[in-house]
Amino acid sequence: MRIDLSAPLRDSGQSYPFSADLELEPIVYLDDPVAFSNVHAEGVLIGAGESVEMRATVSADVTSRCALCLEEAKAHLAAETVDRFSRTPNEDEDEYLIEGYSADLTKPVLDALLLEMPMRFLCRPDCKGLCPVCGQNRNNGSCTCEQDS
Ligand SMILES: [Zn+2]
Ligand SMILES: [Zn+2]
């Protein structure tokens, strides 16, 4: 998803509100597949001469795998981000490339969401996980392997 930056590039110091719905490709995060839906970014684009500052709120629904029972787990992520688009981006400082008079919004949005990603996904806070002996999903009922511990 590309965003038009011609107005903020023309008018230094001016703020332009924007709002965008994005599609993000699924990724692998800490060995788990993660899919995104309802990805949304909104905020302002501020002209700064040859570069443009973006102040945005980014949100998405993510679907991954429960760390305990391996069933589907969902989470909602929301992040505040401040990024800069530049024709000569310094990637160490959260700067992203302007090509022509527009920039790709996908990378800064994904980067902002990754910072909010939980260390592990759970299908529910009290997930009972799998039986280490027979592999039964204990959320669906207990198995016949009695645990001493
Ligand atoms: Zn679970
Ligand atoms: Zn069992």
* Mean per-residue pLDDT, 9-23: 97
Read off the amino acid at residue 76: H
Q: Which of 5-9, 23-27, 38-42, 91-95 has the lowest mean pLDDT?
A: 91-95
Average pLDDT of the residues in 62-84: 96
Which among 33, 50, 34, 58 has a CA at the least distance from the CA of 111? 58
Task: List, as ranges, residues with CB under 5 A of the ion ligand 2.
Answer: 131, 133-134, 136, 143, 145
**Per-residue confidence (pLDDT) for residue 148, from 0 to 100:** 56
Q: Looking at per-residue confidence, does 145 or 10 come out higher?
A: 10
Q: Where are the alpha helices (DSSP H) in 40-105?
A: none
List the structure tokens of 19: 């709002």
Instruction: Report the Cα 106 to chain-centroid distance in Å.
Output: 10
Expressed in angstroms and rounded, the spacing between residue 30 Cα and the centre of ligand 2 is 27
Number of H helices, E strands in the chain: 2, 8
Distance (Å) from CA 122 to ligand 2 centroid? 20
Mean pLDDT score across all residues of the chain = 94
Read off the tokens for 149: 């511990």
Ligand 2 centroid to Cα of residue 38, in Å, is 38
Closest of 109, 129, 94 to residue 25, by C-alpha: 109
pLDDT exceeds 60 at position 21: yes
The H or E element that residue 107 is part of is: helix 106-115
